[in-house]
Amino acid sequence: MMEELAKFLYEVGLLKRMRRSGWWVAGIRDPESVAEHTFRTAILGYILARLEGADPLKTAMICLIHDLPEARIGDLHRVNDRYLDSREAQKRAWGDQLQSLPEKVADALKDLYELWDDQNSLEAKIARDADLLECFIQALEYRAQGCSSLEKWIEKTGATLKTETARSIARACQNQDPKTWWHDLDPP
């Protein structure tokens, strides 16, 4: 049992090295990893859930596991969806990933992923907003670094946010230069 968990944890570790492929389409040479995206998504999910009155820990956990199938199928971007059924591929990969895990672990992870996939709970909807908002913020950061091809993407993504809290954070991020967050800090 522990050997299978070890294999799963090594597989999850692939996400630290796997680059987010959609950013290559936008012209980013060295995009963030899936794990880097997931980290800020989970923090955003926790914050959004806390502010929206949902379960912040459940939301953060949904955020943490939502991209785990990408360890098997890679990070598929929107252009891929034109040719592949990425949702079905993710479900198949996820089922395979869970097969050898201890039952109580597999069942809990399966339940969280089903929440994400079904989008019926408040926590899942907030997790989706967190996922999109993280991409939105990352796009603003890449734009601040000189990538000029992201305007349409930023506009479309901001418009898909469902919760008022996520939309408010997006507006605040658009009005803040990503490179100046530290300017008001007093030196020690």
- pLDDT for the residue 113: 96
Domain count across the chain: 1
CATH number of the domain residue 69 falls in: 1.10.3210.10
What percentage of residues in the chain have a pLDDT greater than 90?
A: 88
Using alpha carbons only, what angle is made at residue 166 by residues 31 and 50, rounded to the nearest 5 degrees?
110
Burial class (CB in 10 A: 0-12, 13-18, 19+), 181: exposed
Q: Is 126 part of any domain?
A: yes
Q: Is 187 part of any domain?
A: no
Torsional sign, CA 131, 137, 141, 147: positive
What percentage of residues in the chain have a pLDDT greater than 70?
A: 100
Q: Is 16 part of any domain?
A: yes
- pLDDT for the residue 1: 82
Crossing angle for the helix pair 34-52 and 122-144, to the nearest 10 degrees: 130
Q: Which pLDDT tens digit goes with each residue over 109-164?
A: 999 999 999 999 999 999 999 999 999 999 999 999 999 999 999 999 999 999 99
Q: Is 186 part of any domain?
A: no
Range(s) of the domain holding residue 51: 2-177
Mark residue 77 as left, alpha or beta (left: phi above 0; alpha: psi -120 to 50; beta: remaining): beta
Q: Which pLDDT tens digit goes with each residue over 82-115?
A: 898 888 999 999 999 999 999 999 999 999 999 9
Categorize the per-residue pLDDT at 37 as very low, low, confident or very high, splitting at 50, 70 and 90. very high
Q: Average pLDDT, stretch 25-36?
A: 94
- pLDDT for the residue 80: 84
Helix/strand/coil for 95: helix
- pLDDT for the residue 30: 94
